Structure 1
Amino acid sequence: MKVSSSGAVLFLALLFFQLSSHPASAQGSFGSDEPTSLRASVNFVWLSDFDSQGLSFSNRLHHYLGERFGAGLTLGLLSSSRFDKVKDIYTIKSTYYMWGVEGTFDVLKNETVAFRLGAGPAARHRSEISTEDEVGGTKDGSVSHIRTADVGVTAFIENDFGIFRNGMAGGRVEYMYYTKGTPVLSVGLHVGYSF
């Protein structure tokens, strides 16, 4: 069965109208009727020790334990690098698999906006290739290969804006400190759904 392009546009317009015709106030404030949410985010990251940058992708599950307090789980993947134009090589290439537990407190929460602070323990598995001498790891010519796990803490501020019926979008600034390896500063955007 063939669907015309005008039929597809009409279907999408009706779907958008249906979703947007339910204002955020119909669901109550964040966390009252739908206390659990799932967020997907993309972040720009800066690793301070060797001045490398990259992107991270994460999924977060958050659940309100009360009116303003909540807890969450997070899983993420980070990829960063630093390119040396003089040597014409990547002097740092990092891949992190990250996970953590979060406790949150909503400083501001109403029918359409939530602003929260959070912190919690974090861990990562780190796989790096570096030309720096002091990083340790296994030497292979002029580069070192590092494969290890680190533990640490994370602290963040984030906000959510209600969109459509149960949707949300917002931003997050996060600092992750680990006992070994470089700390990470992350700034990103997320979208999610409450259920």
Structure 2
Amino acid sequence: MIKNILKAALLLAFLLFGLSYQTVYAQGVFANKDPGSLRASISYVWLSDFDSQGLMFNNRLHHYLGERFGLGVNVGMLSGSRYDESSRIYTIKSTYYMGGFDLNYDVLQNATLVFRVGAGMTGRHRSEINTDPEDLGGTVDGSVVHIRTADVGVTGFIENDFGIFRNGVAGGRLEYMYYTKGSPVLAIGLHVGFTF
């Protein structure tokens, strides 16, 4: 499973970097860098505990603090699950409401492409249904455990942006979120937005 995720991440990065150099309409968006951008993203996520997968939707606000340093704020929702073919039921159902902030640095900047790395703090409200009897963190209801709690953690990411049209931006992001409790999250996604 990890090999497939890594292959998909490398393919995604290759495609995004290739497309970024062929963008016809990026007329110096990043050379005359607008200080802020707003992006909507969708990501495929893998939750390492219990091997469940799902989707994450995010809205991110990014603002440059200098030539290469920036601050990002994000809010989002994640929905993940694992279906057990032998039992014919969902053994994990997870819903997370998430938010956080990060500091980032542009490693590469040119007229059409920005490549950045960053790290920050993140928090989530976690609502899960789990059939694992070892997980005693919630309320037991028959054969399942209901968990409702909040967790805090750290996040690290790499992402790229490239200019589209006059003030548009698109790109990809690979992110890892580690929390004090509950499952860490690995996310691979695409985003689109605008600069202002």
Question: TM-score range with shorter-chain normalisation?
Answer: 0.7 to 0.9
Aligned to 1:5: none
Question: What's the secondary structure of 2:49's corresponding residue?
Answer: coil
Whole-angstrom CA distance in 1 between matches of 2:124 and 2:95: 10
The Cα of 1:27 is off from its aligned counterpart by 3.7
Q: Give the corresponding residue for 1:103.
A: 103
Aligned counterpart, 1:37:
37
Aligned sequence identity (%): 67
Report the residue type matching 1:108 in the other structure: L
The alignment status of 1:166 with 2:174, answered yes or no, reads: no
TM-score (norm 1): 0.86
2:74 aligned with 1:74: yes
Report the CA distance shift for 1:82/1:168 in structure 2 as closer, same or farther (over 3 A).
Answer: same
Give the aligned partner of residue 47 of structure 2. Answer: 47
Aligned to 2:189: 188
Q: After superposition, give the CA deviation of every residue in 1:121-148 in whole Å (9 maximum; x if it has no partner).
A: 0000000000011222000000000000
Deviations 1:50-79 (A, max 9, x none): 000000000000000001000010001000
Counterpart CA distance in 1 for 2:43 and 2:180 is 22
TM-score computed with the length of structure 2 as normaliser: 0.85
Helix, strand or coil at the partner of 1:66: coil
User: Unpaired segments of 5 or more residues in structure 2?
Assistant: 1-23
Deviation, structure 1 residue 25: 3.1
Match of 2:146 in 1: 145
Paired AA for residue 185 in structure 2: V
Unaligned runs of 5+ in 1: 1-21
User: CA offset at residue 34 of structure 1?
Assistant: 1.2
Q: Which runs of 4+ in 1 moved over 6 A?
A: none
Q: Distance in 1 between matches of 2:67 and 2:79?
A: 36
SS at match of 2:181: coil
> Which is greater in Rg?
1
CA distance in 1, matches of 2:151, 2:101: 15
Matched residue, 1:176: 177
Residue 23 of structure 1, CA deviation: 4.1
Aligned match of 1:58: 58
Out of 24, 27, 52, the residue aligned to residue 25 of structure 1 is 27
1:133 is paired with a residue of what secondary structure?
coil
Quote how far apart the aligned CAs of 1:180 are.
0.1
Aligned residue in 1 for 2:134: 134
User: Is the Cα–Cα contact under 8 Å of residues 28 and 112 in structure 2 kept in the other structure?
Assistant: no
Structure 1 letter corresponding to 2:129:
I
The number of residues matched between the two structures is 172
Aligned partner of 1:101: which letter?
F
Comparing 131-140 with 146-155, which one deviates more in the overlay? 131-140
Q: SS state of the match for residue 134, structure 1? A: coil
Per-residue Cα deviation, 1:99-124 (whole angstroms, up to 9, x for no partner): 00110000001110000001000000
Q: Closer, same or farther in 2 for the Cα pair 1:139/1:48, shift >3 Å?
A: same
Q: Distance in 1 between matches of 2:177 and 2:29?
A: 33
Query: CA offset at residue 33 of structure 1?
Result: 4.0
